[in-house]
Structure 1
Amino acid sequence: MNKINVGIIGVGRMGRIHLDNLVLKFPEVNVVAISDVLESSKSLAEQYNVPNFYTDYRDLISNPDVEAVVICSPTDRHAENILAAVTAGKQVFCEKPMDLSLETVQELEDIIEASGVKFMLGFNRRFDPNFKKIKSLINEGKVGEPHIVKITSRDPAPPPVSYIKSSGGMFVDMTIHDFDMARFMAGSEVKQVFAVGKNLVDPEIGKAGDIDTAVITLTFENGCIATIDNSRQAVYGYDQRVEVFGSAGMAGTTNNTPDNHYYYDKNGQSGPLPLNFFMDRYIDSYYNEMREFIDCLNKNEKPNVGAKDGMVSLAIGIAANISMKENRVVALEEITEKNVSVSS
């Protein structure tokens, strides 16, 4: 069996997840190089028996043995990493978002399309077994035509304020997953966006120019309506639920818990709280999305999640930000036609 030689750019939290999966769970893959700006990350190359370590990602891309690149660098490096890898003819998997500028993302989409390389964006929640089951029920006609999509996405604790200052804001670093999931479930494109956001968790987040609590309504071209509620802090755990109501029925998911026990006594019923960390909640989805990428390379097929999905979800995030600030419904074409950026 011919193995695929993979290089990983950035071995922080997400990079380590993919490194561990690729080395331990993908016998058809050789991880031949990793790069990270921190020299201390060289220990990971030694730990996983990766033969090449670089502090400059360009050295990894120029390595002729590297056939595919997994990009897990900070968001503000994604665009240059993608451009360098695609220009060098490497196949690319990249964590979201591609960039915080819609114009840059659109330019990258054109370059990727013209290059012919395989490109996949890391919207891992599409590959979560629970959400995939809901989508399969929709595809089988069990739900009928989707009328209402309800998504709850609440983190157990907010990220550091230092991260928030450079993340692009909650709609781009957090809700962007929910925008993609709403499109995925509705099977249609967004026409209009209305968002309300507040600071109800941590005033320091507000001082950093962001919000921590929001409700967003999306209207789709097929008439479906989606509501998304977000919070940076759910004291009971990582709250991730989806429900789709349609003309023929309803399908939904509950939270993942450490076990499924329940307990009764004279005071009432109790049971386990949801999992408390996204890496525990979505451990299967991270493997499944990488399985999709590697299988596409082996079969010479185009991944189902690509640059366009990143562009559309970013545009929705920008529209939500404008809607919140101006207290109005924003048509998505306002954003896509003017190449409005996150900072607007």
Structure 2
Amino acid sequence: MLKVGLLGAGRIGNVHAKAISAHPGSKLVAVSDVFAENAEKLAAEYGVAVKSSEEIIADPAIDAVLIATSTDTHSPLIEAATAAGKAVLCEKPVDLSLERARACLAAVEPTGQPVMIGFNRRFDPSFGALKAAAQGGEIGKAELLALTSFDPAPPPVEYVKVSGGLFRDMMIHDFDMANFLMGEAPVTVSAAGSSIVDPAIGAAGDVDTAVVTMTYADGRIAVIKNSRRAAYGYDQRIELLGSEGLLQAQNQLENLVVKSTAGGVTGAKPTWFFLERYMPAYEAEWAAFVEAVEAGTPMPVTLADGVAALAMAEAAARSLAEGKPVALAGIQ
């Protein structure tokens, strides 16, 4: 039984607490949060202890920690936990600074401790099936990838100011998914973006609408579309065109009822947000982590994967600022 400490009891921490507690091979034993009331509420719900993050990391009875704290704490907590001999699952991104993330990777490698980064979309059943079909050669050679990720509404500006921006906070999922599906990182990254959803986001130095085009060494192309606003719900789609066909992963809908009348054909909207859309993926992600820890096998999403996605986000931000494509190899 894997004994787990949860660092961070906010919205995403609650999602992970549910997944940890539901798994037969893991047990949530302690929780921490900088806001005492958050930790106390979650601890009471699951009947676990409230401790500081430092106490959880130092506790020899705790086998693993799940890091769901603010992004600026991720790298230090990963380093402290692995130095203490614990397995780690950390929410994305690894850090807001690519340099700091790379330093974290260098510090963790000598410990030999397993670290997994929380790119939960890799574990979505539909996306996984699309990956398997592509890998099995069902559409020939993959040539053009299109990733669509639209949120139903923009986050508060206060969140935008500390999140690292759309590329590092939101699109980083799509950068990782592109690497997952294409099997390698791109050669160039080209970004276009603007703030047309909420002027306050632009005033904070970020964009809320963006398109990134990536090219690969063999001529393949990937396009990512992000928006902080889709009035109809959480839009999450993948389209992969190959030499012999097309693979598509469509939205998850609120229900599967379709009404057909003389006035037209209508159906349900996509699920509203990530909690509804991706809870099965969070559960599958945690199951994969537990299995890897118990078996001593490599993590399905590594710390290096997290650094790679962050490098692509950095390249996109630089491309937007410079108004030209950026070579990924030149990102330091």
Give the alignment's TM-score, normalised by structure 1: 0.94
Equivalent of residue 79 in structure 2, options 78, 83, 86 = 83
Task: Quote the Cα distance in structure 2 between the aligned partners of 1:164 and 1:100.
Answer: 13
Equivalent of residue 33 in structure 2, options 31, 36, 50 = 36
Task: Quote the Cα distance in structure 1 between the aligned partners of 2:190 and 2:169.
Answer: 18
Equivalent of residue 279 in structure 1, options 272, 275, 278 = 275
Structure-to-structure mapping, 1:1-344, within 5 angstroms: 3-23=1-21, 25-40=22-37, 41-50=39-48, 52-54=49-51, 56-335=52-331, 339=332
Which amino acid in structure 1 is aligned with residue 36 of structure 2? E
Shift, 1:216, TM fit: 0.6
Which amino acid in structure 2 is aligned with residue 65 of structure 1? A
Which amino acid in structure 1 is aligned with residue 243 of structure 2? S
Which amino acid in structure 2 is aligned with residue 156 of structure 1? P
Task: Quote the Cα distance in structure 2 between the aligned partners of 1:220 and 1:69.
Answer: 36
Task: Quote the Cα distance in structure 2 between the aligned partners of 1:20 and 1:287.
Answer: 8
Question: How many residue pairs were aligned?
Answer: 331
Query: RMSD over aligned Cα, in angstroms?
Result: 1.0
Give the alignment's TM-score, normalised by structure 2: 0.98
Could you list the per-position Cα deviations for residues 231-266 of structure 1 after superposition, in whole angstroms to 9, with x for gaps in the alignment?
000001100000111112210111100111111223
Shift, 1:139, TM fit: 1.3
Which amino acid in structure 1 is aligned with residue 33 of structure 2? D
Answer yes or no: is the 8 Å Cα contact 1:194–1:330 preserved in 2.
Answer: yes
Which amino acid in structure 2 is aligned with residue 200 of structure 1? I
Answer yes or no: is the 8 Å Cα contact 1:93–1:293 preserved in 2.
Answer: yes
Q: Give the match's secondary structure for 1:190.
A: coil
Shift, 1:201, TM fit: 0.6
Answer yes or no: is the 8 Å Cα contact 1:125–1:177 preserved in 2.
Answer: yes
Task: Quote the Cα distance in structure 1 between the aligned partners of 2:110 and 2:141.
Answer: 35
List gaps (5 residues or longer) in structure 2.
Answer: none
Shift, 1:190, TM fit: 1.1
Task: Quote the Cα distance in structure 2 between the aligned partners of 1:270 and 1:30.
Answer: 44
Task: Quote the Cα distance in structure 2 between the aligned partners of 1:114 and 1:83.
Answer: 11
Report the more deviating stretch, 232-241 or 111-120: 111-120
Shift, 1:81, TM fit: 0.9
Task: Quote the Cα distance in structure 1 between the aligned partners of 2:35 and 2:195.
Answer: 34
Which amino acid in structure 1 is aligned with residue 72 of structure 2? D
Task: Quote the Cα distance in structure 1 between the aligned partners of 2:62 and 2:156.
Answer: 34
Task: Quote the Cα distance in structure 1 between the aligned partners of 2:41 and 2:173.
Answer: 32
Answer yes or no: is the 8 Å Cα contact 1:32–1:65 preserved in 2.
Answer: no
Identity %: 43
Shift, 1:222, TM fit: 3.4
Task: Quote the Cα distance in structure 2 between the aligned partners of 1:239 and 1:299.
Answer: 36
Could you list the per-position Cα deviations for residues 288-307 of structure 1 after superposition, in whole angstroms to 9, with x for gaps in the alignment?
11111000011111112111
Which amino acid in structure 1 is aligned with residue 203 of structure 2? K
Report the more deviating stretch, 38-47 or 187-196: 38-47
Task: Quote the Cα distance in structure 1 between the aligned partners of 2:221 and 2:75.
Answer: 32
Could you list the per-position Cα deviations for residues 33-62 of structure 1 after superposition, in whole angstroms to 9, with x for gaps in the alignment?
111112212132122111x211x3101111
